[in-house]
Amino acid sequence: MDSVYIQNVLNGSTEDFRYLIKKYKDLAFSVAVSVVKNEFDAEEVVQEAFIKAFKNLSSLKKKSNFKTWFYRILINEAFKRLKKIKSDIILPNDQAPDVENFEDTFKGFNDDEQKYIVAESLKKIPSNECLLLQLFYLEGHSIDQLTNLTGWSETNVKVILHRARKHLLVVVKAMMENELTICKT
């Protein structure tokens, strides 16, 4: 379906690009937020990515998937913005987590509390890790798709995902301890 709109845009009907914006803006925004960690910068990243996609639409190969091509632009723009704002959060290497049953971490918390803690924890891990966790677990992309979307090697994607799981567990546990401490006082 995207190909019809893309062809229309290439034939001069720029209004048809609105379809692509409408279809991909929400996913693009969530990907951008996972990298730059704030909504204002994410909005700018998404806007820049759509502008670049529009300007370079003719370079999209006929057999290529618009979503994959656009996400590659989006991810590159997000990391470019991240370099400008230098707001990436890195956990010290000495915080290696104990690998336990992750579900046990959430005992005593309802679904809304769990979602809140995970969402806040994602803001505190490195952007590349947050991005891959979101694309892999929330959007269901495979490792091969992640390598295409990011341009990173398969090995690099697997290593980052592994670290991301560990970092997320550390941050979640720390937040859980803080929540319990707040509740007890």
Residue 50 pLDDT exceeds 90: yes
What pLDDT, on a 0 to 100 scale, did the predictor assign at position 95?
A: 47
For residue 68, being part of any structural domain is answered with: yes
Residue 117 pLDDT exceeds 80: no
User: Among residues 20, 53, 85, which one ends one of the domains?
Assistant: 85
User: Among residues 85, 114, 134, which one ends one of the domains?
Assistant: 85
CATH of residue 165's domain is 1.10.10.10
Mean pLDDT of 104-123: 75
For residue 66, being part of any structural domain is answered with: yes
For residue 171, being part of any structural domain is answered with: yes
The verdict on 123 and 175 lying in the same domain is yes
Provide the token pair at 15.
């209004």
* High-pLDDT (> 90) share of the chain, %: 31
The verdict on 68 and 106 lying in the same domain is no
Q: Determine the Cα–Cα distance for residues 97 and 105; give it in Å rounded to an integer.
A: 12
Mean pLDDT of 6-25: 91
Residue 45 buriedness (CB in 10 A; 0-12 / 13-18 / 19+) = buried
For residue 91, being part of any structural domain is answered with: no
> pLDDT-derived band of residue 23, with 50, 70 and 90 as boundaries?
very high
What pLDDT, on a 0 to 100 scale, did the predictor assign at position 107?
A: 67
For residue 128, being part of any structural domain is answered with: yes
> pLDDT-derived band of residue 110, with 50, 70 and 90 as boundaries?
confident
Q: Determine the Cα–Cα distance for residues 122 and 101; give it in Å rounded to an integer.
A: 19
The verdict on 23 and 79 lying in the same domain is yes
Residue 130 pLDDT exceeds 50: yes
Question: pTM (2 decimals)?
Answer: 0.68
Residue 24 pLDDT exceeds 60: yes
Domain hosting residue 167, numbered range: 102-184
What pLDDT, on a 0 to 100 scale, did the predictor assign at position 174?
A: 79
Mean pLDDT of 178-184: 52
Mean pLDDT of 51-57: 94
Looking at the structure of the chain, the number of domains it has is 2
HEC readout, the chain: CHHHHHHHHHCCCHHHHHHHHHHHHHHHHHHHHHHHCCHHHHHHHHHHHHHHHHHCHHHCCCCCCHHHHHHHHHHHHHHHHHHHHCCCCCCCCCCCCCCCCHHHHCCCCCHHHHHHHHHHHHCCCCHHHHHHHHHHHHCCCCHHHHHHHHCCCHHHHHHHHHHHHHHHHHHHHHHHHHHHHHHHC
